[in-house]
Structure 1
Amino acid sequence: MEHLIVDPLDAVISEFERLVDEIVAKIGATTRPEVEFPSKFAFVTARLHKLRPSPEAVAETLRGRRFEYLANVRLENMYLNADVDVRRLAVALFDSVRSAGEKYGYSARCKVGRFLVEHTSANPLHPLHVGHGRNAVLGDSLVRLLRFCGNDVEVHFYVDDCGSQVMYAALGYEAVSEEVNKMVERGVKPDLAVGYVYSVATAIAEINRLKRLAEGQSDEKRREILAEIDEWMGVIKRHMDAEPELTNLLAERLGRRDLFTEAAELNRLYERGDLQARAKVRAVVDLVLKGQRATLERLGIAIDKWDYESELAVWSNKAVELVEELKRRWPSYIENKEGAVVFRADKFVEDFNLREELDLPKFIPPVTLTRSDGTTLYVTRDVAYALWQAQHAVDKVVRVISSEQTHEQAHVKIILYALGHKEEAKRIVHYSYEMVNMPGMKMSARRGQYVSLDEILDEAAERSAEMVKEKDRETAAVIGEKVGVGAVRYFYLSASPRKPIDFKWDVVLNMRSNSGPFLQYTYVRAASILEKAGEAPEAAPSVPDSLPPEERDLVVRLAMWPRVVASAVKDLRPDYISDYLNSLALLFNSYYEKYPVIKAEGDVRRFRLALVNVVRITMKNGLEILGVPVLSRM
C-alpha cells in the first residue's frame, strides 16, 4: 500500500512552504511559521507576525517568481497569503485518484502504528441499549478508520462477569431457566429474556433488603425506605405487564429468598473459581453475549477477542497481586478504612507531578482497592486488565469508555505508573464520550428502564422502508434495514464524542442534510450519474479554462479528503469524517442541481464525469469508514 502516498494538496503546500523558507532565510530568521490551508477557502496562509518581514523583503522574494500551484501571492497584515490555482489543483486531484484508485483518501500520514481498541464492553445482563450504541459505533468507526489507513488493529470486548449484579441474573436464570429457554425458542432474543430476569431478581433482592433495613427505624426513616420499596414494586409491575408468566414465576421462586446474601456468596465462590459457581454464572453470561453479539453483527460490528474479567484479573490472582505490590512499594500512600484498602492517588499525582505526563483530569480522588472482606473492586480488576492489554505489541491501547468513568480510568493509569509500568500507562488512551439522551425518558438498566438498541434499529428500519421508493415490500424492507442501520450509525458519529446528544427521529432520518440516509442518497446519486452516462470516466480529463465557483469549491473539497482522513486518525475523531462527508454531500447536490453533467458536451462533460467519479469514490470510502452501508439504489 506504500505506493498510495497520494495527496493533491502536497504539491500546493510544498510550493508555499518553499516560498516561506526563502523569506525566512532572507530576513535571517531561524524558525518557519506553520503553513495552514483554511478549509473553506482556496488559499494557503502563514502567520508572519513574530518574524515581521518588511514588505520590501517579501516583494523582492516574489519578483519575477513563477508558480505552478499558487496565484496572487501577497502580504496582508503580516499574513503571507496565496490563492490556489484550482485548475492546476484539479490536475493534481485526478493524478492522485488515478494513483490511488478506489483507495483515494489513504496517505502515508495516516499509517501510524498498531492499536488495540476495546469498545462496547457492556455488562452481560441485558440487551445493548441506546447508550451502548454510541460506544459500539464510535469504537467500530475508529477501527474502520485506522484499518482504512493500513494500521494493524485488534478489537476487544471486556466481559465484566463478576460482581453482585451478574449474580442476581445468574440466580434468577437458575430459578426459571426452562421458561427462559422456551422464550428463546419462540424467538425472544436471549439478552432480552435475561434482561427481564435480571431486573425482576434485582427488584426482589432490593425489596427484601429494604424490608429488613426498615425494622427498628424511626417513622421518618421508615417512610423513606417504604417509598423506595414502592419504586422497586413499580419495576415488578412493569415487568408483569410485559411478561406476566415469567415475572410471576420469579416472584414465586425467589420472593422468600435472601438474594442479597446469596449473590454475595455466589460472587465469592465465582471469584475463587468454584466449578459449580462457574457453571451457574457462565450459563447466563454466555446467553446474554449471544444476544449482544447478534445486535453488533446487525450494525456491521465484529469483535476479535472476548476478554473475561474473571479469567484475566480474578482467577489469575492478578488483581490481588497488584494490590499487594502497591502496598509493598508505596506504604506511605496506603490507608486502611474499616478494613478496606485505599490508595491515595490524589497525593501520589501531586507528589510526582503526573497530571500532564499522564494527561489526567484536574480532580483526582483517592481510590478504594479492596472491600473490607478482601475482595477486589472493579477498578482493581480493571488495572490488571489494562496491564494485560498494554503488554500486547501495540503502540496504543484505546479504551472507549464513557465520561462517567473519567476518574476510574485516571486511577488505572496512575496505579500502573506507581507499579513501575510507566510506558504501559502512557500507551493507554481513555477515549471518553458523553451520554445519549432520550428526551422525556429517565433510563436505569437495573430497573429495566431503557430503550434497547434492537428497538431503535427495528424502528429505524421500519421508518426507512416507508421512505424507500420501492414497490416490492420485501426489497423495500431489505433496503430499509440498511438505511436504518446507516441512519443510526451516522447519528452516533454526527457530533463530537465530548458532546451529549439527544436522540430525535427527525434528526436521525433527515433526508436533506447531516444524516446517514442523506449521505447514502448522495452516493447513489453520484453512482447513478456515472451509470447513466454509459461510459467510464477518464482518469486524466482536460480541465476547462474556466470553472464556475461551485465547481472550484468541489475540486478544493475533494482535494482535502486525504488530509481530513489523516487528521481524523491523528486525533482519533471519526466525527471529522462525518462532518466532511456532510459538507461534501451538500456541495455536490447543490452543484449537480445547477450544472448538467450527462447533458454537457466535450471536455466539460468528460471533466464533470471525472469529478463525479471522485465524489463517488470519496463518499464510498467515507461511508465505509463510518460503517454506513453503501447502497446501489435507494
Structure 2
Amino acid sequence: MTLLQELESRLAAALSAALGEPATAAVTAAADLRFGDYQSNAAMVLAKQQKKNPRALAQEIIDKLELSGLATADIAGPGFINFRILPSAYAAHTAALIRDERLGVPATGSGKTIVVDFSAPNVAKPMHVGHIRSTIIGDSLARVARFLGYNVIADNHIGDWGTQFGMIIHGWNHFLDETALAADPIAELVRIYRKVTAIKDEPGILDACKAELVKLQAGDPENLAIWQQCIDHSKAGLQKIYDRLDVKFDYWHGESYYNDRLAPLVDEFLEKGLARESNGAVCVFSDGTLPKEEDPYMVHKEDGWTDNPAIIRKADGGFLYATTDLATIQFRIDEWKADHVWYVVGVPQQLHFRQLFNAATRWGKTGDFQHVQFGSILGEDRKLMRTRSGENVGLVEVLEEAVERAAKAIAEKNPDLQGEEAAQISEIVGIGAVKFAELSQNRMTDYVFSWDRMLALQGDTAPYLQYSHVRIRSIFRKLDTPFDATTAEIHLNEEAEIHLARLLARFGEVLPTILEDFRPNLLANYVLELARAFHSYFEACPVLKAEEPVRSSRLALCDLTSRTLKQGLSLLGIDVPERM
C-alpha cells in the first residue's frame, strides 16, 4: 500500500466516525512542501453537504484521525487538512520499497485487456519524423499499462491495402530496379511510386494503375505476389527501425487482414438500419440522440446544421478507412475481448474517431474507446519539420543524427571510451534523447525539435537522467565487497535524505495517474524530479565517508534511487548505460 492509500484509508475511517455514515476522501500530494506532504479538501466538500463550518468539520475529523506512526495533521485556510509524514514512517516505507520488486507500484489493471493501436505506418513508404509521436507515446503507454498489470495487446495496424498499390504494381512492372530493390527495398518502392505519380497525367497511366488495382482486389495471383513482396520488404525495413527503438508489437494486423469482413459488415449495417444508401453510397448518419453541437454526424454551415455522414461503402463499391476501422473494432472486441481500445493518432483524425466510436457503440461493440491524440513536431523555425526540399524528415535520418551527435558529446566528455563500447553508449544516449524529448512534452502541444537542448547533459534531458544513473552506480564500483540493500537499516535525519525518500515513495502514486489522461510526461517529470533530489542529497549527505549505520542507510537509498530511475526510464522506453 502506498502512503497516499494509507492516508486515504485512515481519513475515510475518521470521516465515517465524524459523519456517522460511510465516507471516502481523496488525498493528493501537496503542491507546496512548506504546508506538508499531502492534503485533502474533504472537509470543505462535505461541509456544504452537511451544512457545517468547514474548519469546524476539519477539526472534528482530525480529532477522530488515527495517525500514530504515520503522520501529523493540521488545518489550513478555509478547511484544508494538511498531512506531514513522519521521518520514521518514510524510513519504514523506504525499507519496504527496497524489498519490493515492483517499487511500491500497485497492480491496478489485473484482469483487464487493453489494445493499443500505435505507429501504423504505410507499406512501401519510409517512416518520417511524424511517426515519432505515435510510435514513442504508444510504446510508453503500453509499457506502463503492462507494468500496472493490464493484459496489453500492442497492434501495428499498418496501411497495407488501398489505391496506392495500383500505382506501385504498375511501377514494379515497368520501372523496377532489382539491384536497388535488394540494396534498399523501401527506397526503391518509394522511387517507383514517385515515378508513376510524376507521369500519372499522361494518357492511359491512371487507367493502367486502376486496372492493376482491380486485378489485385480480385485476387490475381501475379499481383498478389507483387503485393506480398512489397509487404515483406516493408516489414523487414520497419522491423529494423523498431528494433533500434526497442519497440515491440504483438500483432501486425494491417488493413488487408480485415478485407473479408468488410462486405458482410456493410450488409449488417444496412439490415439493422445503422446505415442507408445516399447517392449510391452507403453512409452512417446521425441517430438524433446527441445534441447537434456534440453529434459527429452533423456540421454547422452558413445555412444551419446539415448532415455530415461517414461513408462505409462508396458508390463504386469500394470501402474506406471507416469500414476497415469498424471491422477492426469488431475483431478486437469479439476476438480479443478488449475492455479498452486506445488509438494513438494525431489530432487531425479527431472527427474520424468520433464517428467511428459512435458507430461502433450503436452497433453494440461496447468498450472504452479512446483517441489518444497529439500535436505536431516543429522545426527551429516553428513550422512543421521538413527537409529543404519540403519533404518529411525521415525517421531513420533523425535517429542517425541523434546517435552521431551523442557520439561527439560523449567523446568530448569521456575520451577514454572507445570502439564498440563507445558506439553502444552513443546509441543508447542518442535514441534515449529523441524519446525523452517527445515524452517530456504534453502530448497535445506542438514542440520544437532542438538537437542542442535534446542532447545536453544538463537540464530536462535523457542524457542528464542517464548520467544520474551512471553516477549512482559508480558509487558501488568503489566498494570492496558487494552491497546488499535489503539488510540495511534506514535512518533519515537530514532534510535532503528525507526529501529523497519522499520522492521514492511517490513512484507508486504517480504511475497509475499516467493512464488517467494518457500523459507519459507525468512520468518524465517524476524521474527528473527524482534525479534532482538525488543530486541534492549526494551533495548534502556524504555516503562512502559516513559512519555506520548511516553509511549503509545512505547506500541503500542510492541503490533504491538507481532502481527507480532505471525502472521509470524503462517505462518510457529509455535504456541506461553503465558508463558515459
Same fold (TM over 0.5): yes
Residues 107-154 of structure 1, C-alpha deviation per residue, up to 9 Å, x if partnerless?
A: 133546222222111111311111112111111112211222332222
1:68 aligns with 2:69: yes
**Aligned equivalent of 1:287:** 233
**Aligned equivalent of 2:304:** none
**Aligned equivalent of 2:409:** 467
Report the identity percentage: 25
1:431 aligns with 2:431: no
1:479 aligns with 2:425: yes
In the TM superposition, what is the alpha-carbon distance from 1:330 to its structure 2 partner?
A: 2.2
Question: Partners of 1:43 and 1:342 in 2: how far apart?
Answer: 55
**Aligned equivalent of 2:107:** 108
Kindly indicate whether the alpha-carbon contact (under 8 Å) linking 2:298 and 2:308 is maintained by their aligned counterparts in 1: no
Structure 1 residues 586-601: aligned runs within 5 Å = 586-601=532-547
> What letter matches 1:202 in structure 2?
T
> What letter matches 2:289 in structure 1?
D
**Aligned equivalent of 2:14:** 19
Q: 2:494 aligns with which of 547, 551, 556?
A: 547
Q: CA RMSD in A?
A: 3.0
**Aligned equivalent of 2:179:** 182
1:36 aligns with 2:33: no
1:87 aligns with 2:34: no
In the TM superposition, what is the alpha-carbon distance from 1:375 to its structure 2 partner?
A: 1.0
In structure 2, the CA distance between the partners of 1:12 and 1:422, relative to structure 1 (3 Å rule), is same
Residues 298-343 of structure 1, C-alpha deviation per residue, up to 9 Å, x if partnerless?
A: 100122212132231x2x1x22222222223227x63523x33333
Kindly indicate whether the alpha-carbon contact (under 8 Å) linking 1:110 and 1:569 is maintained by their aligned counterparts in 2: no
**Aligned equivalent of 1:603:** 549
**TM-score under structure 2 normalisation?**
0.88
> What letter matches 1:432 in structure 2?
Q
In structure 2, the CA distance between the partners of 1:433 and 1:193, relative to structure 1 (3 Å rule), is same
In the TM superposition, what is the alpha-carbon distance from 1:590 to its structure 2 partner?
A: 2.8
Kindly indicate whether the alpha-carbon contact (under 8 Å) linking 1:487 and 1:508 is maintained by their aligned counterparts in 2: yes
Structure 1 residues 56-455: aligned runs within 5 Å = 59=59, 62=62, 67-74=68-75, 76-98=77-99, 100-101=100-101, 103-111=102-110, 113-177=112-176, 179=177, 181-186=178-183, 188=184, 190-205=185-200, 208=201, 258-312=204-258, 314=259, 316=260, 318-330=261-273, 334-337=276-279, 339-344=280-285, 347-348=286-287, 350-351=288-289, 365-391=308-334, 392-419=336-363, 421-423=364-366, 426-440=367-381, 449-455=391-397
Kindly indicate whether the alpha-carbon contact (under 8 Å) linking 1:74 and 1:82 is maintained by their aligned counterparts in 2: no
Which residues of structure 1 form unaligned runs of 5+?
1-5, 209-255
In structure 2, the CA distance between the partners of 1:324 and 1:443, relative to structure 1 (3 Å rule), is farther
1:71 is paired with a residue of what secondary structure? strand
**TM-score under structure 1 normalisation?**
0.81
In the TM superposition, what is the alpha-carbon distance from 1:480 to its structure 2 partner?
A: 0.4
In the TM superposition, what is the alpha-carbon distance from 1:461 to its structure 2 partner?
A: 0.7
2:316 is paired with a residue of what secondary structure? coil
Residues 565-584 of structure 1, C-alpha deviation per residue, up to 9 Å, x if partnerless?
A: 12224443322211211111
**Aligned equivalent of 2:461:** 515
2:83 is paired with a residue of what secondary structure? strand
In structure 2, the CA distance between the partners of 1:394 and 1:473, relative to structure 1 (3 Å rule), is same
In the TM superposition, what is the alpha-carbon distance from 1:58 to its structure 2 partner?
A: 5.4
2:180 is paired with a residue of what secondary structure? helix
Question: Mean alpha-carbon deviation: is it higher for 520-529 or for 78-87?
Answer: 78-87
Residues 221-273 of structure 1, C-alpha deviation per residue, up to 9 Å, x if partnerless?
A: xxxxxxxxxxxxxxxxxxxxxxxxxxxxxxxxxxx563322222222222222
1:90 is paired with a residue of what secondary structure? helix
Kindly indicate whether the alpha-carbon contact (under 8 Å) linking 2:158 and 2:253 is maintained by their aligned counterparts in 1: yes
In structure 2, the CA distance between the partners of 1:598 and 1:145, relative to structure 1 (3 Å rule), is same
Question: Partners of 1:506 and 1:360 in 2: how far apart?
Answer: 45
1:512 is paired with a residue of what secondary structure? coil
**Aligned equivalent of 2:303:** none
Kindly indicate whether the alpha-carbon contact (under 8 Å) linking 1:342 and 1:368 is maintained by their aligned counterparts in 2: yes
Aligned residue pairs, count = 557
Question: Partners of 2:358 and 2:15 in 1: how far apart?
Answer: 44
Question: Partners of 2:526 and 2:13 in 1: how far apart?
Answer: 29
Kindly indicate whether the alpha-carbon contact (under 8 Å) linking 2:329 and 2:365 is maintained by their aligned counterparts in 1: no
Kindly indicate whether the alpha-carbon contact (under 8 Å) linking 1:95 and 1:540 is maintained by their aligned counterparts in 2: no
**Aligned equivalent of 1:630:** 576
Structure 1 runs of 4+ aligned residues shifted over 6 Å read: 353-356, 358-364
In structure 2, the CA distance between the partners of 1:509 and 1:257, relative to structure 1 (3 Å rule), is farther
In the TM superposition, what is the alpha-carbon distance from 1:515 to its structure 2 partner?
A: 1.6
Question: Mean alpha-carbon deviation: is it higher for 360-369 or for 531-540?
Answer: 360-369
In the TM superposition, what is the alpha-carbon distance from 1:521 to its structure 2 partner?
A: 1.1
In the TM superposition, what is the alpha-carbon distance from 1:13 to its structure 2 partner?
A: 4.0
In structure 2, the CA distance between the partners of 1:473 and 1:380, relative to structure 1 (3 Å rule), is same
In the TM superposition, what is the alpha-carbon distance from 1:415 to its structure 2 partner?
A: 2.1
> What letter matches 2:351 in structure 1?
H
2:253 is paired with a residue of what secondary structure? strand
Kindly indicate whether the alpha-carbon contact (under 8 Å) linking 2:123 and 2:234 is maintained by their aligned counterparts in 1: yes
Question: Partners of 2:195 and 2:440 in 1: how far apart?
Answer: 36
1:513 is paired with a residue of what secondary structure? coil
In structure 2, the CA distance between the partners of 1:507 and 1:198, relative to structure 1 (3 Å rule), is farther
Question: Partners of 1:452 and 1:495 in 2: how far apart?
Answer: 21
Kindly indicate whether the alpha-carbon contact (under 8 Å) linking 1:343 and 1:369 is maintained by their aligned counterparts in 2: yes
Larger relative contact order (Cα-Cα within 8 Å, sequence gap ≥ 6): 1
In structure 2, the CA distance between the partners of 1:355 and 1:396, relative to structure 1 (3 Å rule), is farther
**Aligned equivalent of 1:494:** 440
In the TM superposition, what is the alpha-carbon distance from 1:458 to its structure 2 partner?
A: 0.5
In the TM superposition, what is the alpha-carbon distance from 1:444 to its structure 2 partner?
A: 8.2
1:518 is paired with a residue of what secondary structure? helix
**Aligned equivalent of 1:538:** 485
> What letter matches 1:434 in structure 2?
G
In the TM superposition, what is the alpha-carbon distance from 1:185 to its structure 2 partner?
A: 4.1
In the TM superposition, what is the alpha-carbon distance from 1:556 to its structure 2 partner?
A: 1.0
Question: Partners of 1:94 and 1:399 in 2: how far apart?
Answer: 40
In the TM superposition, what is the alpha-carbon distance from 1:443 to its structure 2 partner?
A: 6.5
Question: Partners of 2:538 and 2:298 in 1: how far apart?
Answer: 48
Question: Partners of 2:257 and 2:55 in 1: how far apart?
Answer: 69
In the TM superposition, what is the alpha-carbon distance from 1:31 to its structure 2 partner?
A: 4.4
Kindly indicate whether the alpha-carbon contact (under 8 Å) linking 2:297 and 2:309 is maintained by their aligned counterparts in 1: no
Kindly indicate whether the alpha-carbon contact (under 8 Å) linking 2:112 and 2:339 is maintained by their aligned counterparts in 1: yes
Structure holding more helix per residue: 1
In structure 2, the CA distance between the partners of 1:196 and 1:93, relative to structure 1 (3 Å rule), is same
**Aligned equivalent of 1:559:** 505
Which residues of structure 2 form unaligned runs of 5+?
301-306
